[in-house]
Structure 1
Amino acid sequence: MSTLEKSRYLATAIPGPRSAALIDRKGAAVARGIGNTMPVYAARAAGGIVEDVDGNRFIDLGSGIAVTTIGNASPRVVAAVSAQAAEFTHTCFMVTPYEQYVAVCEHLNRLTPVEGEKRSALFNSGSEAVENAVKIARAYTRKQAVVSFDHAYHGRTNLTMALTAKSMPYKHGFGPFASEIYRAPMSYPFRDAEFGKELATDGELAARRALSIIDKQVGADNLAAVIIEPIQGEGGFIVPAEGFLPTLLQWCRANGVVFIADEVQTGFARTGAMFACEHEGIDPDLIVTAKGIAGGLPLSAVTGRAEIMDSPHVGGLGGTYGGNPLACAAALATIDTIESDGLVARAREIETLMKDRLGRLQADDDRIGDVRGRGAMIAVELVKSGTIEPDADLTKALLAGAHAAGVIVLSCGTYGNVLRFLPPLAISDELLNEGLDVLASVLADLR
């Protein structure tokens, strides 16, 4: 159990001298393309706090981009990984398999909202899992085309860059990209309102808009899969209008198209359900998971209907590190923690607290255009006063002020104007409220 004090504390200016020295070392040793949000170097983390090498303690409202959902250095995870490391660290599941891999797949098959008999396969990263989901869909349907959506983010590999919508920084200069990838309009209620209230609130209507384009530009006979984040992550924490996802799924089922839910960021209690698909009662054909699956260790998965998952030939799926035993031990401990500690319900409590506070802030400040999200996945979209024009400059200034004051918070969105909150579910109400107090103070100073 960590002895890290659970309070915000600034011992030095940000960055402190030891972090500053490490920044210089990074510049000389690490490729320039690897950026950093915070100008500090972590030393310890637990319970909603990250401590840097200079002794500064930050309130963590980012969870390593939704990875340490159950809290950093969570006790069950630490114990499980330590015990597994003492037994063996790797054998490669494809060479001499081990029970932990099978056990993780059994839990995924039990937990994921996919109808009927299920199978799972384990990989390393969200991008890798997305690529394998597309491979599986193509093997099953014997078709090639894949549709993703405006504002989507699915990864940084060649195929997943093609699926991702935003050019800078993810795609710029890295093409050409994988072929047979098409894009359809997303349901984005805050922005769709510009085109009429009905489109913003009627998910079925928004889905029909997307399906019309898919029919005309791709055609169901050529389409292997539709892939979508039930709540878009990097695109701006966009929650589609009610009915959008079920209408897409219904069309996919009627036309022999595999429906892939990318739950890399939304999975494992993050949204106040074990998986975000549950909020609209949909059962995808395939679900892609990663991030919060293993308490900070690299692991990802594809889970889906058995007949689809079993369509690739033996040896067609795999990878040297996929389902590493340490990561599997961490995943089993993570699932145990979520279920034993009631963290799905805790995510809903965090949603209530955050939306209440941010909603009151919005009522007093018209630069907050929208407050949205589910569970502990909440966002604020910032706009220029009196308009819906995105304000990326205000977002950058608010981030910088929060960071300097000891709060880790992240931005996202196609227009660079969304502040996203991903607090660990282990965070206390006191720390969460304090973090929001800091943000409110910084925002007021930026008038």
Structure 2
Amino acid sequence: MTTHSRLPQERHLATEIPGPRSRELLARKQAAVPGGIGTTLPVFVTRAGGGIVQDADGNSLIDFGSGIAVTSVGNAAPRVVERVRRQVEEFTHTCFMVTPYESYVQVCEKLNELTPGDHEKRSFLVNSGAEAVENAVKIARHATGRQAVVVFDHGYHGRTLLTMTLTAKNLPYKHRFGPFAPEVYRMPMAYPYRWPTGPERCAEEAAAQTIDAIEKQIGAENVAAVVIEPIQGEGGFIEPARGFLPRILEFCRANGIVFIADEVQTGFARTGKMFACEDEGIVPDLVCTAKGIAGGLPLAAVTGRAELMDAVHVGGLGGTYGGNPLACEAALGVLETIEAERLVERAEHIGSVMLPRLRALAERHDVIGDVRGRGAMIAIELVEPGTKKPNPAVTAEVVRRCHAQGLVVLTAGTYGNVLRFLPPLVIPDHLLEEGLGILEKAFSEI
């Protein structure tokens, strides 16, 4: 795999992790930045590219995080850099709502073309995934004249007031930040590993329970939208049992409910499809995207059926920075890279490398209860051996050992017991294999 990175694609530990310079910078961070801004791995980055992150002490770490699925095409990807460099010399901002520019329209045209479904679509651009989800809910409420919004257990949708409400997990996202927004209703997630009657009955029973609760507790005629991640991200990379999403979509169609797919973490080739919805042929009414859309620049979008998007009055959508010209150029560079480098197929390849190694690891270590995911969005769930009781302590220890050996890994999950892997899609195979070796060694040492 060609990474086009100027950084040598090799792990190198010059100091302990974190090193003295990073520890010095961490002390400055603690004096200047609120404690509420946490840090997973306190190494201060100076360069990054391909599958490598280089820190202020000269350490080169293998990247299995991609800035939480943001730098999927690699950090400082050449097509992204070149487009942004050209744009920054021309102009950096006008506000699209004041004096527009072509790159914004180009990004929207590409999103309309690439998102699932061949119906007429519209897109508009904002700054973050949370903004995208919040605006999708606004559109659904405006278009339907209804208020209720249905979300799912273990879901994560952002940190604004409404998206905090949509998010399931209390700590760290919601604790003591209430009161929350009204008319949000949470339903059971089709979580195969933890479904009480087993994975075989999960899709059917979870869909039946959800539909029954909507009809009895809310009234389908009062529901504006169902908001769901095709694979839950922060909740633990939970793949809904197959058949669940189609059943929920069918119910939405029959009752005039807007189906909103939160593809913030799953979009842009991450799962081996351009969008995760495509795996079961789901065609959402509205799609929310962000993270991997612009190679690290802040950009997000809502794409949806023209009749829904056009229902909102002039001035009802927008924002000062939404669709900043630098971010739009970056997004066009990302889309060019995905196509030129065949990164959809590359994500499938990454999954074909990781999943067998992780399943073999699970056979050797009964602390691993489940291995799941698609493409380059893979996770393992850790439990107390012989049970399904979550094991966040061992999860934290594995992470600590991986970090010490120069492998950037992230956690997730409602119970803090999931290791999630989001390598850049351009990571070379030798780094992928080496990173898995570090992970295997960490388990063998515990």
Q: Does 1:92 align with 2:132?
A: no
**CA apart distance, 1:2:** 4.2
Q: Does 1:351 align with 2:351?
A: yes
Deviations 1:356-382 (A, max 9, x none): 110111111111111000000000000
Letter in 1 for 2:327: A
- 1:3, 1:259 → 2: CA distance? 43
Please name the residue that 2:15 is paired with: 12
Q: Does 1:166 align with 2:179?
A: no
Local SS of the residue matching 2:96:
coil
Local SS of the residue matching 1:138:
helix
Please name the residue that 1:332 is paired with: 332
Where in structure 2 are the equivalents of 1:408-447 lying within 5 Å?
A: 408-446=408-446
Local SS of the residue matching 1:195:
coil
Please name the residue that 1:148 is paired with: 151
Deviations 1:283-340 (A, max 9, x none): 0000000000001100000000000011110000000000000000000010010011
Please name the residue that 1:196 is paired with: 198
Local SS of the residue matching 2:224:
strand
**CA apart distance, 1:196:** 3.3
Please name the residue that 1:313 is paired with: 313
Letter in 1 for 2:429: D
**CA apart distance, 1:215:** 1.4
Conserved? CA contact 1:114–1:304, under 8 Å: no
Conserved? CA contact 2:192–2:198, under 8 Å: no
Please name the residue that 2:133 is paired with: 130
- 1:383, 1:252 → 2: CA distance? 36
- 1:177, 1:45 → 2: CA distance? 39
- 2:65, 2:198 → 1: CA distance? 34
Conserved? CA contact 1:403–1:409, under 8 Å: yes
Structure 1 segments of 4 or more deviating over 6 A?
none
Conserved? CA contact 1:114–1:286, under 8 Å: no
Local SS of the residue matching 2:284:
coil
Q: Does 1:53 align with 2:56?
A: yes
TM-score for both structures, normalised by structure 2? 0.98
Local SS of the residue matching 2:47:
strand
**CA apart distance, 1:197:** 4.5
Conserved? CA contact 1:143–1:222, under 8 Å: yes
- 1:327, 1:51 → 2: CA distance? 24
- 2:168, 2:206 → 1: CA distance? 18
**CA apart distance, 1:195:** 2.3
Please name the residue that 1:304 is paired with: 304
**CA apart distance, 1:206:** 2.1
- 2:117, 2:132 → 1: CA distance? 17
Q: Does 1:70 align with 2:73?
A: yes
Instruction: Give the share of equivalent positions with the same residue, in percent.
Output: 66
Please name the residue that 1:392 is paired with: 392
Please name the residue that 1:245 is paired with: 245
- 2:199, 2:439 → 1: CA distance? 31
Letter in 1 for 2:280: E
For 2:142, which of 126, 133, 139 is the aligned residue? 139
Local SS of the residue matching 1:162:
helix
Please name the residue that 2:104 is paired with: 101
- 2:252, 2:144 → 1: CA distance? 12
**CA apart distance, 1:198:** 3.4
Conserved? CA contact 1:115–1:283, under 8 Å: no
For 2:85, which of 82, 85, 89 is the aligned residue? 82
Conserved? CA contact 1:10–1:406, under 8 Å: yes
Conserved? CA contact 2:155–2:229, under 8 Å: yes
Deviations 1:177-226 (A, max 9, x none): 1111110000000001x3235323xx233211211112111111111000
Letter in 2 for 1:437: G
Q: Does 1:370 align with 2:365?
A: no
Please name the residue that 2:383 is paired with: 383
- 2:383, 2:347 → 1: CA distance? 27
TM-score for both structures, normalised by structure 1? 0.98
- 1:170, 1:109 → 2: CA distance? 32
Q: Does 1:187 align with 2:158?
A: no
Please name the residue that 1:264 is paired with: 264
- 1:218, 1:230 → 2: CA distance? 23
Conserved? CA contact 2:193–2:199, under 8 Å: no
- 1:326, 1:101 → 2: CA distance? 10
Aligned-pair Cα RMSD in Å: 0.8
Report the number of matched residues.
Answer: 443
- 1:211, 1:430 → 2: CA distance? 47
- 2:143, 2:413 → 1: CA distance? 33
